[in-house]
Amino acid sequence: MGVPLPRKDLFEIPPGIIYLDGNSLGVLPKGAATRAARVIEQDWGQELIRAWNSAGWMDLPRVVGDEIADLIGAPAGSVATGDTLSIKVYQALDAALKMRPDRRVILSDSGNFPSDLYMAQGLIGTIGKGHELRTPAPEAVEAAITDDVAVVLLTQVDYRTGRLHDMNRITRAAYEAGAVMIWDLAHSAGAMALDIAGSGAEFAVGCSYKYLNGGPGAPAFIYARPDLVADIDPALAGWLGHEAPFAMEPEYRPAMSTERLRVGTPPVLQLAVLQEALRVWEGVDMADLRAASQRLGDLFISEVEARCPALTLASPRDAEQRGSQVSFAFEHGYAAMQALIDRGVIGDFRAPDIMRFGFTPLYLDEGDVIAAATTLQEVLETGAWQDPGYQARGRVT
């Protein structure tokens, strides 16, 4: 058993706020702002360029990568950090296609996050070798893994509904068909126990600003199965992926580790904040966290269905079949969510009609869940969402 949950004392939660949006942006951990100030004022301010060595800036991508590796069930040295998730998807896809040069199909699903699909489409156009992107319905993916598929690219947890793919079963199906497997862990890293090494997948990617609480724009990560590293030919051959960056050699020579998947100068400020944020996981048993998340999600479903009959459950009812989120469909979901946020319960909206709520047991408890459902009931019963101020859509929904 790990430390008791929740651990609200480790987070900066604004008074009067119930935060159910951890699957888009996690809460600020205590200590993160102080760490950022120290990097700015002391490391940068006093050490200046010397801080690359004296403050360990150059090692941060590897050090933070190892800490993320612990949370996703990967060995030390197998996770590189930096750049954005879209860039890491591109890197993994390109490497995977090169491993299967005689195949021309990238298989994903119709529910995948659009940016993953965009990166696949862009890569296909860039390499110009007649590749095809197939996107069957999520439940039809396994049957679609045929012997012409080069790579299977899936997000483990559907960003809209929370539907959960069976990682081990699908990875095994990809292996048996001779395809390379890439998992996007954006909505599962920090939300459930993972064993990416045990799954046998060749690659995994993810972001750190959701359940890992790394802050807006926090760096992404990429896992490469250690036995494959020497065979990875990076599409983005940046200088920090070089075996000896400061040798300044005119030809690229990739590092003989996952470091070859680094590209440019690491985002030191954000890596430092992320490293501080990861301290909240010390002593947390991921099985306990997953069980707590499932209980909170089940309670929310029960409360909302009893109080808000106008909403339709869009997530799997079985907690084993969904990630750490619950989604409800409502024709006026955007306006209702704005009214809810205005009353201190923060979730988010995904087109066309999804009201999405994330359950993070690190800083949520049953009282929060019941209070959130009660507030949602009030918004719907009073018609508060019909206020014209809640109809206008912001740039970010």
Give catalytic residue positions: 113, 184, 209-210, 356
Helix then strand then coil, in percent of the chain rounded to 5, is 45, 15, 40
CB 234 within 8 A of CB 254: yes
CB 185 within 8 A of CB 220: no
DSSP letters along 269-313, please?
A: HHHHHHHHHGGGGTT--HHHHHHHHHHHHHHHHHHHHHH-TT-EE
Helix and strand tally (H, E) in the chain?
11, 13
End-to-end CA distance of the chain: 38
User: From CA 46, how far away is CA 149, in angstroms rounded?
Assistant: 54
Report the chain's C-alpha Rg in angstroms: 22
Burial of 172 (0-12, 13-18, 19+ CB in 10 A): middle
User: From CA 301, how far away is CA 359, in angstroms rounded?
Assistant: 12
* Chain centre to alpha carbon of residue 319: 19
User: From CA 24, how far away is CA 208, in angstroms rounded?
Assistant: 10
DSSP letters along 321-332, please?
A: GB-SEEEEE-TT
Tokens 């893994």, residue located: 145
